Amino acid sequence: MPESGRGSGGLPADAVLERLRRLSGWTVDEGKLLKSYAFPNFVAGVRFIDRVTITAEQQSHHPDLCITWGKVTVQLWSHDVGGITTRDFRLATALDVLYESGNADSQEH
């Protein structure tokens, strides 16, 4: 998938970059939105993933998640179109709200 943020479908690269400016800490890596969230320990990260699962199900849009000690990394892109879409940005915004509302003492990476 091209670095431009566009695969066979999805938003054009300029639209991805414009929307990316409205988010904090998100980047585009290999055509996917990417962000890592920091936690004080492994259990706090797992609890965040539990909350992410509920939000993802509500939006019928499911991120790729990687958990390590003190960190959860999220990758978003729309598999069905092979690129980044408005659904990805909507879920990214929702995940930031979840993080801020449940992890006031945690820091982002």
Distance CA 19, CA 12 (A): 11
Q: With bands split at pLDDT 50, 70 and 90, how would you rate the model's confidence at 102?
A: confident
- Nearest-CA neighbor of 55 among 21, 94, 20? 94
pTM: 0.84
Structural domains in the chain plus CATH codes: 13-102 (3.30.1360.20)
Whether residue 95 has pLDDT greater than 90: yes
Distance CA 9, CA 23 (A): 22
Percent residues over pLDDT 90 in the chain: 83
Whether residue 36 has pLDDT greater than 60: yes
Span 50-71, average pLDDT: 96
Q: What is the pLDDT of residue 76?
A: 97
